[in-house]
Chains A and B, each alone.
Chain A
Amino acid sequence: MARQWGMVIDLDRCTGCEACVVACHAENNIATVGEDQAARGRAMHWIRVERYWEGNFPNARVIYRPVLCQQCGDAPCEAVCPTYASYHNPEGLNAQIYNRCIGTRYCGNACPYNVRFFNFYNPVWDKPLNLQLNPDVSVRSVGIMEKCTFCIQRIKVAEFRAQAEKRPLKDEEFNPACVQSCPPKAMVFGDLDDPASEVSRLAQSNRATRLLEEVGTLPNVIYLRSVS
């Protein structure tokens, strides 16, 4: 039953369109913070498309790299949390239990990927924008840390449905919001422990690499290097 959820991101397919970014905001009730707060480094994007320039005009080049919580197998954020708010669940996800969090922000410091986001204020949705909120996802209050969950609410719904229908969960039966929206299909999600799944097949690619492997976090997000 235990699965190892993982994701493969093909950097050769990624076009930097940012569909994943807005899809994630919509799915996970991520608040927008406004210009002033955004300028102070408090914008919350559970997934971001990193952009790195290489070279100079006229030989300038760009690398896009979507970065979300890497759902580390050995996550630095989990060890340092004094209240078990950051916790490793049996399916290999780094879960964030919002109501345990007291806001030491230690996990945010320990995370080498900077994918943890802190609620510096209570989130605000100008009415009736509050009606867009997804009822399956908790709204986070001021003073707590939040981050990508691999859309655990979707995982759970799919698992419950499979359970109710007394059948195994199928590969690609569901996807996190970012994967589902991704127009060039750069992202693939699934069970890395299932040898038949597309994600585990792609993870075998000779282009496969992991982000900041040297830190020893054993990420479950695998990047396929861009060719060229």
Chain B
Amino acid sequence: MERRDFLKISAVSGATAALDACGKPERQLIRFIPETDLIPGIAVWRPSVCTMCPAGCGTTVRVMEGDAEVTRKGQLGLIKMGLAKKIEGNPDHPVNHGKLCPRGQAALQVTYHPDRIRHPLKRSGARGSGKFQEISWEDGIHELVTRLAALSSGQKTAALAIVAKPMRGQRRVLLESLAHALGAPPPVFFQFFEEAVLRQANALSFGRAQLPTLDLAQSNYVLSFGADFLGTWNSPVAQNVGYGEMRQGRPNLRGKLIQVEARMSETGANADQWIPARPGTEGLVAMALARVILTENLRPASAAGGAGELIPGWAEGLKDYAPEKVEQSTGVPAATIAHIARDLAANSPAVVIMGGAPLAQTNGLFNALAVNALNALLGNVEQPGGIYFTPAPPGMAPAQGLPIQPASAYAALTALLGLSTPTTLAPASPPQVLLLDEANPVYALPDPRVKDAIEKIPFVVSFGGFLDETSIFADLILPDHSPLESWIDDVPESGVTQAVVSLAPPTMKPLHHTRATPDVLLEVAHQLGGRVSKALPWKNYEEMLQAAWGPLQKEKGSVQASSADEFWSKIRKQGGWWSSEVAPAAQGRPASAGGPPVSYKEAQFSGNAKDFPFLFMPYESQQFLDGSLAHLPWLQEMPEVLSSVMWGSWVEINPQTADRLGIQQGDLIEVSSTRGTLKASALVFPGIAPDVIGMPAGQGHQQFTRYATGRGANPFKILDPVFEPATGSLGWAATRVKISRVGKGKLALFGGSLRESPREFGKR
């Protein structure tokens, strides 16, 4: 292409933009004073932190000058401002190494979303009617302060409840300090796909209530039980980077991946061998593997240390778990088990992972402990090519011992709302004020009591930028900036073998009349005065962040600075601080929190097998995770990789099952559990067991912007209340269902044929 042609293309793009304005009212808009000193056409890159999932990847944002149509002081007009144009991975960041997943890429649309709440709102209609009126920030904050002050003066501060999406770093500290200073119960950090069981298991086996970091890059053999670690689980970008290296990063050495799961995940599709074990028997498979390793003397039983002691019969060589014995219940041939066990032992370093559905069973804790014991037996814990636990940054308590918060957010949330819980946790008295920070329990929980309880709370404040099923009940909405407009900090729990603080200033000025929630809360604390303002003395969030993370200047890390100011300005440019000390390889046996042994119990499923012949297996969606990203059009139109579905939801059915029931691709299917019924289109899916029905989470929003509202179905709503008893986590993979064809559905598929050579497989 000639330079001239390039200039032509550029000219056309400019002309298109100019023409777009022709004959439209914004031509008459007034122009505000520019909010930027950027050079037109020249991009600058500013660091930020991805908040789309809890992995905590570092990003870098391309910012360019542009004309935005905004409201300033009640007046609509045009303003020249720095606009975020593209999000890339931060190449220096040790979690994601310059890479980013599709959801992180789509974060741009959170900022520019047409249905963002643009200014503070006060409820003007009935609860849940969605009728709000605009108010000023002063009035909004005043109202919140008044309500909170009333609580404390009436000595009823225990009646304050804070529910937020999972977060770490100073924003979490801020919420916790606020709750503490007001004498309220600790905030609940809630999301549907919580990892309470795994944290509990890791605490018991290794003394760390934390998700593991996988050192895939140096691993020779990966055995994964249900963990979609390349898709959505844990720290997917870090794991993808490691996976690439594991496969092709080392000359003449290619690591193997074995995946055990009843519904093939995005990760399972990459496996060298895919083993559909019966759901709920994954722990048995792990134990059978350990049994082979022990009986063939490939590792001594003592190698597992404390992790082994948690399994009854470990020292005796796991007699009950002979592969031939468990074959009947797991559906995995004994020969396969023996083969993999020998491979595992021979291809050190190997790593065994468990995540997702196996943990969401009534025996989830045993399954996790079994995998931990196997890992420990193989000597994979805190060893290169195995699993690590990310160290906490200096000044932050490491996640040692058992989890501080009651293990499951589900239990904690129900208790906080004054409802009976699946654990021994006592219900609190019903709260008088609820502060909501982007958590959406009404959408995520099958328990209808949660919605009723929230509806009954006299005063609900929401800080999220969007109206969803929960924030629709708010009396007051104080909308947060988008992440790109905010100071963000995060402390990755996993995905990295050194201590990391991701920290970044805003990349652009706020587009709308919003305010950063931490700033608002600090202002509220200031106005409340007394104990609260003493606990949260900072004028704004940046000050608080500087107070918390400024001391890192003294630590050995990625930022070298002689003064506090220099340190802070460098950290702002780099997007965080990371320790130069990589977690050391453990010496000797891993420490265990100890505790009574946990024995295997058969997984319990709700609904009897006769009336409800299928096991319902919801899973975290590649597009929307638990549904919190369903409002982004890029993700809606991104074809989910295995199904190629866009803009919809579907139920996955094994081809033989579909044939037997006379169900065809695209038919509308009714899926019923004892709890409820949903309708979605059928997708014929060769990678699912004949007695399992898969369904992605994420759609079926009743209220979540123009792009997600009323689209598809929500699998959470038909889940029966089955729990993992030790943590009170919802056993979301333990509901039985029946299905029937009810008509013709619709599916927007991007992919044509299922097969590359369709004739070879008959008509399908």
Contacts and interface: CB of A to CB of B under 8 A. Distances in A.
B642 A51 contact: yes
A134 B85 contact: yes
B96 interface: yes
A45 B244 contact: no
A186 B626 CA distance: 27
A132 B394 CA distance: 38
B261 to A, nearest CB: 11
Contacts of B9: 97-98, 138
B686 to A, nearest CB: 4
Interface stretch (B109-117, B289-297, B376-384): B109-117
Nearest to B689: A57
B69 A128 contact: yes
B101 interface: yes
A97 B105 CA distance: 27
A165 interface: no
Given A43-B639, A128-B114, A64 B100 contact: no
Contact of B66 (A13, A57, A131): A131
Interface stretch (B219-227, B361-369, B743-751): B743-751
Nearest to B231: A17
Nearest to A49: B641
A185 B246 CA distance: 11
A152 B1 contact: yes
B112 A43 contact: no
Nearest to A185: B244
Interface in B383-406: none
A27 B635 contact: no
Interface stretch (B12-20, B179-187, B346-354, B450-458): B12-20
User: How many residues of B sit at the interface, in one of the four size bands?
Assistant: 35 or more
Interface string B401-438: 00000000000000000000000000000000000000
A34 interface: yes
Contacts, number: 256
Contacts of B86: 26-27, 134, 177
Interface stretch (B162-170, B514-522, B605-613, B646-654): B646-654
Contact of A32 (B16, B270, B634, B761): B634
Interface residues of A, number: 75
Given A39-B647, A139-B13, A183-B99, 17 more contacts: A17-B102, A43-B639, A52-B754, A52-B755, A54-B756, A57-B689, A89-B2, A98-B9, A126-B114, A126-B706, A128-B114, A130-B20, A132-B108, A133-B17, A138-B9, A183-B101, A228-B272
17 contacts: A10-B248, A13-B248, A19-B100, A35-B646, A39-B647, A57-B654, A57-B686, A61-B269, A64-B269, A90-B1, A95-B5, A97-B9, A132-B84, A139-B17, A177-B86, A180-B88, A185-B241
Interface of B: 1-2, 5-6, 8-10, 12-13, 16-17, 20, 41, 64, 66, 68-69, 83-89, 96, 98-106, 108-109, 112-114, 230-231, 236-237, 240-241, 243-245, 247-248, 254, 264, 266-267, 269-270, 272, 274-276, 511, 622, 633-642, 644, 646-648, 654-656, 686-690, 706, 711, 746-751, 753-756, 761
